[in-house]
Structure 1
Amino acid sequence: MSDPKQNPTDNAIKDPEDWVTGDEPMTGAQASYLKTLCEQKGEEYQDGLTKAQASERIEALKE
């Protein structure tokens, strides 16, 4: 296990599936960014996603 003092951001990146608040509704910022990405990619925007689902969708559209 790494020393958090040497790498304080070691646990900063977590899988959305592991987020404590991942099942809460997506934030306004996520919704806005997701709408923009969907428009740019010609994809359909999906409302009502959770924070975790929105994050995964955003990452997929960014690739």
Structure 2
Amino acid sequence: MSDDDAMLGSPEPEPQGGLDRDPDDWVTGNEPMTAAQRSYLDTLAREAGEELPADLTKAEASRHIDRLQGKSGRLTEGSDS
């Protein structure tokens, strides 16, 4: 199959667009976290006064980001408009 024939997605729709998929179910969840995850997680961990291992997987990083966002209130700041 050439790059011109490559396909993305799925022939079947995914419920809720896959937005609530558990990180353990991610195809790439066992790969090392991305640079963006690493940077954001470093910021969140510093704000929370926590230290985390630098060799997290994408799935592990995602879970820590979700947890630390809840602690920091970053998702709720400025949302009362």
| Structure showing greater Rg | 2
Q: Structure 1 runs of 4+ off > 6 angstroms? A: none
Find the residue that maps to 1:11 and give its secondary structure.
helix
Match of 1:10 in 2: 16
1:28 matches 2:35: yes
Q: Please, which runs of 5 or more residues in structure 2 have no aligned partner?
A: 1-12, 71-81
Higher relative contact order (CA 8 A, sep 6+): 1
Percent of aligned pairs sharing the same letter: 53
Q: Please, which runs of 5 or more residues in structure 1 have no aligned partner?
A: none
CA RMSD of aligned residues (A): 1.6
Cα distance in 2, alignment partners of residues 17 and 37 from structure 1: 22
TM-score of the two chains, using structure 2 as the length reference: 0.64
Q: What's the CA shift for 1:10?
A: 1.3
